[in-house]
Amino acid sequence: TYCAGNVTVAPTAQLDWSGEGGLLSLYVESDTDTTLVVNMPDGSWMCDDDGGPGVDAALDINAAPSGIYDIYVGRFFGEAVEPAVLNISEFAAPSDR
């Protein structure tokens, strides 16, 4: 899977999810253009660089399987490290689409 932007080698966060196949929503809030990369429990990858409001990244994972999620928050341009807030919810991520 090709993912745009720059993230660190180590995950920003790790989530042990047991949501019984419900919705898992991840979204980033930052003053810079963000990217979000997720390594799913089955080893597959998902990513987004502008699914949230403005240039914030967001992913809604429907029927999210239980297990460990490695979550990487980065920047679309420049170095991977920048102040940001990672939101994790069972409600759909905000969107301006």
pLDDT tens-digit series, residues 23-51: 999 999 988 888 899 999 999 999 988 76
Distance CA 12, CA 91 (A): 21
Tell me the pLDDT band of 97, cut-offs 50, 70 and 90: very low
Strand order in the sheet with 67-75: 13-17, 67-75, 34-39, 45-48
CA 70 from centre of chain: 9
Distance CA 45, CA 2 (A): 9
Distance CA 28, CA 97 (A): 16
pTM: 0.87
